[in-house]
Amino acid sequence: MSHKSRSRKQTRPAMSPLLRALTFSRAAHEPITRAMLLQAYASLDAFRRGHGSRELYTTLGRQLLVAEELGRIGHLPEALDDIAEAQIAMTDIDAIEKRHGKWIIEGDNYAWLTIALGIFERQLADASLDDIAKAEARMIEGLMRIEQQIAHGNLAATVTA
C-alpha cells in the first residue's frame, strides 16, 4: 500500500467570504462605492477648510492608490497621469504640514485632487465590486512591499532602479 502524503497546503482565501459574496451582488455596489467616495470627498473638504489630519491624509491617499490600481486594471487608464498629479498634490499637503503644522491644501493642488476624485467616481461607477476588491488588494500589496523595502533599507535602490 502506498503511503502518499495526503496533507495539502492550507491557503487562505484572498478575501473574506462576505466580501466574496458582495462582489457578486450588484445591489451592494452603490452603498460601497458611495461610502468610498464620501470618505474621499469629506477628506478633501477638510483639507480645503484647513481641518485636515493625518487620518484624513491617509484615507485620501489610499483612495488615490485604489484609483491608480483601477486605472491599471483598465478603468480609465488614460487618466493615470491625472491621478499621479493628485498624488504629487498629496506630497505637497504633507510638506505644508511639516513646515507649518497645518493640514491644508493650497493652490492648484485642490484642482488636481478634485480632478482625480472625479476620475475615481467614474471608475467606481464602471468597475465591478470584484475589480474594486482587486484594486484594493493590489494597493495593500504595494504598500506592504514598500514597508518591507523600508525595513530592509532597499527603498532607495528600488526607487532609482
CB neighbours of 136 closer than 8 A, spacing ≥ 6? 66, 69
CB neighbours of 129 closer than 8 A, spacing ≥ 6? 22, 23, 24, 25, 26, 28, 29, 32
pTM above 0.85, yes or no: no
Higher pLDDT, 14 or 119: 119
CB neighbours of 87 closer than 8 A, spacing ≥ 6? 61, 64, 68
Looking at residue 73, what is its pLDDT?
96
Looking at residue 161, what is its pLDDT?
42
Calpha distance 63→78 (Å, rounded): 18
User: Quick one: 75 exposed, middle or buried, by C-beta within 10 A (0-12, 13-18, 19+)?
Assistant: buried
Mean pLDDT computed over 44-69:
96
The percent of residues in the chain predicted with pLDDT above 90, rounded, is 65
Please write the tens of the pLDDT for every residue from 86-118. 999 999 999 999 999 999 998 899 999 999 999
Mean pLDDT computed over 57-75:
97
DSSP code string of 36-86: HHHHHHHHHHHHHTT---HHHHHHHHHHHHHHHHHHHHTSSGGGHHHHHHH
Q: Is the pLDDT of residue 160 over 90?
A: no
